[in-house]
């Protein structure tokens, strides 16, 4: 029967493998165009004093 140290090492290895696979799936999705960052880009960024999004060419007040 494996000891506590061995069980912890196995859990850590499995956790690492899951994270690595998730990262790879994310990068593959980005590369294939499955992810659309357009909405995030449109709704985030620097804000004007009134709270509206500052766009390229806007004057900083």
Q: Average pLDDT per run of 10 along the chain, which is 61 residues long? A: 84 98 95 86 83 73 56
DSSP one-letter code for 57: T
The reported pLDDT for the residue numbered 39 is: 80
* pTM of the shown model: 0.53
Query: For the chain, what are the domain ranges?
Result: 1-61
The reported pLDDT for the residue numbered 20 is: 98
* Spatial separation of the C-alpha atoms in residues 14 and 6, rounded to whole Å: 12
The reported pLDDT for the residue numbered 61 is: 56
Tokens (6 digits) for 1: 């029967």
The reported pLDDT for the residue numbered 58 is: 58
Residues 53, 59: contact at Cβ < 8 Å?
Answer: no
The reported pLDDT for the residue numbered 13 is: 97
Question: Alpha carbon of 6 to those of 2, 9, 45: distances in Å?
Answer: 6, 5, 47
The reported pLDDT for the residue numbered 51 is: 84
């Amino acid at each position: 029967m494996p000891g506590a140290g061995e069980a912890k090492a196995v859990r850590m290895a499995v956790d690492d493998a899951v994270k690595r696979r998730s990262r790879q799936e994310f990068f593959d999705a980005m590369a294939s165009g499955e992810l659309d960052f357009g909405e995030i880009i449109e709704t985030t960024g620097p804000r004007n004093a009134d709270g509206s999004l500052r766009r390229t060419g806007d004057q900083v007040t």
